[in-house]
Amino acid sequence: MKIKFLGAALSVTGSCHLVTTDHYKFLLDCGLFQGSEALEELNDQAFDFNPAEIDFMILSHAHVDHCGRIPLLVKQGFKGKIYCTGATAEIADIMLQDSGNIHEMDAKWINKRTTRSGQRQIDPLYTQEDAARCAQYFFPVAYGQIFEINSQIKIRLNEAGHILGAAIVEIWAQDDGKTTKLVYSGDIGAANQRMLNDPTLIAAADYLIMETTYGDRVHENQQESAKRFMDIIFKTVARGGTVVAPAFALGRTQDLIHVLEVFYDNHELYQNQLDKVKVYVDSPLATDATEIFRKNAHYFNDYIKERIKKGDELFYFRNLNFTKSIEQSKALNDNTSPKVIISSSGMADAGRVQHHLKHYLWKPKSSIVFAGYQAEGTTGRAITSGEKYVRILRERIRVNAEIYFLEGFSAHADKNDLLKWLAGFKEKPKKIFLVHGEEEAKKSFAITAKNILGLDCTVVEDVSEYSLGDEVVMVEGIKNRIDTKNQINKLKDNLGDIHDELDDLLAIPGIGITDAFPDEKLDDIAALTRDLEDTCQKLKTIIKK
């Protein structure tokens, strides 16, 4: 058996692993690369395999970084089944169609620009129609059932506790005359979540592919994050400000709604005060996903099932509004009353939340609450890292709002949860491959797993292929130069920001007079110059490697 890591190898996005046995070739996930421009360009590159030769695929869950390249696979000849849970199939359909729509809009915008400058037109990566065509390939498999894909391969999907329908995948494959058991963790959920059961402990594996998004971090506790969320809302509303929460349409939005609904239920006495705080969910995709969540209540934990039994309407409270049309969305920014806007995308790089950030980020009375992972190169990462200026919808915006990052809402296990899950193996895997994490997270978790559990982990650092025999051997390693490109793009951004700062300085009336010269402007420019030096330094180190 061989495994080739083709995505989520270098970073956390683009999950895609190719498994080859004596007779079959199959994929574990086929997700979109997201984040920096250099990463996203990888979506345009040809697959490292012929999609028509892939027998089937197993999809761990419906986040776009795990399923977002399925329409490309299908367009290029894949005809196999895609095994996943029923909820994943249902959600992936709307996620992919939304993604197709975004690619169409992006291409339209680029083509409008390139037409004016006489450049070549581009095609969207895939269209909404391409995405809709994929629904026929999904094949639902229930949690906990051992399912025979063919005479040689069996699988079992287990609750991952990450998002509705997410699975940890067990695979038994006949290869070279014997059965090999491979486990693919997909994304592992945090323990003690509000709505989902804890990730299933797996008893045994020969080989394990494991995510390490937060392999080097311990989250704040969930209750603490929920309490802070409410405190931020009341503090912001009291000073007449608006709270903007960029949230993933799938999972995080429903989590935030749930925290609010529980709070509203339990604080009837404050109803007058609460009535003043309107909450808007401004994402058509999140609204559709919430509907699917309501329909699939049997996937939730006992606590939620109990609430439903008692007559609780899931994801509902009096002040909650789901905005639909673009006009309603725009009206939120004309409405000056304090409020909460939950909108996607979660990393603030696309979708309606960009308009809200453009409107509220520069206002000191506002609060911006991030409640999920912010990948390198995204606007969300820049804001949560303390950047003073960010580019949103091609405009440079000053960050004056209060910025919060509530890690306790994360749908990902932290370092301790990951260790706890790994310790659950009664028969230890012969080899553990760490994927889906930034370099430091993977390396740090490998050390922790060795020190605490005595387990050897291989940090997957790049596109690479391993043969899994008595010995695990790397049979193919490809040097990916993406980091270099990343840093060069960063340099360009840095230079652009310095250029803008200098233009701003020149525009100040009376700039030639000493006392008209604003000192703090020089501090900003000095900080940007330090960033520039850092980036140059990083680039040098990468090139030396």
Which positions lie near Zn ion, rule CB under 5 A?
A: 63, 187
Question: CB 459 → Zn ion: shortest distance, Å?
Answer: 20
Do 33 and 43 contact (CB within 8 A), yes or no? yes
Q: Exposed (0-12), middle (13-18) or buried (19+): which is 140, by Cβ within 10 Å?
A: middle
If the CB atoms of residues 65 and 175 are measured against Zn ion, the closer one turns out to be 65
Helix residue ranges per DSSP H, 178-221: none
The whole-angstrom separation of Cα 422 and Cα 438 is 19
If the CB atoms of residues 80 and 346 are measured against Zn ion, the closer one turns out to be 346
Amino acid identity of 440? Answer: E
Beta-carbon contacts of 541 under 8 Å, excluding residues fewer than 6 positions away, are: none
If the CB atoms of residues 61 and 355 are measured against Zn ion, the closer one turns out to be 61
If the CB atoms of residues 15 and 329 are measured against Zn ion, the closer one turns out to be 15
Q: What is the radius of gyration, based on Cα positions, of the chain?
A: 24
The whole-angstrom separation of Cα 356 and Cα 144 is 42
Question: CB 400 → Zn ion: shortest distance, Å?
Answer: 32
If the CB atoms of residues 196 and 277 are measured against Zn ion, the closer one turns out to be 196
DSSP state of 425: -
If the CB atoms of residues 32 and 245 are measured against Zn ion, the closer one turns out to be 32
Question: CB 120 → Zn ion: shortest distance, Å?
Answer: 35
Structure tokens at 111: 């083509």
Question: CB 446 → Zn ion: shortest distance, Å?
Answer: 21
The whole-angstrom separation of Cα 371 and Cα 406 is 5
If the CB atoms of residues 31 and 284 are measured against Zn ion, the closer one turns out to be 31
Question: CB 64 → Zn ion: shortest distance, Å?
Answer: 9
Question: CB 231 → Zn ion: shortest distance, Å?
Answer: 28
Do 107 and 123 contact (CB within 8 A), yes or no? yes
If the CB atoms of residues 91 and 153 are measured against Zn ion, the closer one turns out to be 91
If the CB atoms of residues 63 and 258 are measured against Zn ion, the closer one turns out to be 63
| 406 half-sphere exposure, CB direction, 13 A CA radius | 28
How far are the Cα atoms of 68, 209, 345, 425, 430 from residue 457, in angstroms, in the given order?
28, 10, 33, 14, 9
Do 38 and 489 contact (CB within 8 A), yes or no? yes
Do 168 and 185 contact (CB within 8 A), yes or no? yes
The whole-angstrom separation of Cα 50 and Cα 73 is 9
The whole-angstrom separation of Cα 464 and Cα 338 is 51
If the CB atoms of residues 65 and 206 are measured against Zn ion, the closer one turns out to be 65
Question: CB 187 → Zn ion: shortest distance, Å?
Answer: 4
The neighbour count for residue 47, using CB atoms within 10 Å, is 17
Question: CB 8 → Zn ion: shortest distance, Å?
Answer: 10
Q: Which helix (H) or strand (E) holds 360?
A: helix 353-360
Beta-carbon contacts of 330 under 8 Å, excluding residues fewer than 6 positions away, are: 355
If the CB atoms of residues 59 and 274 are measured against Zn ion, the closer one turns out to be 59
Question: CB 283 → Zn ion: shortest distance, Å?
Answer: 17
Question: CB 213 → Zn ion: shortest distance, Å?
Answer: 9
The neighbour count for residue 196, using CB atoms within 10 Å, is 25
Amino acid identity of 247? Answer: A
Question: CB 63 → Zn ion: shortest distance, Å?
Answer: 4
The neighbour count for residue 312, using CB atoms within 10 Å, is 14
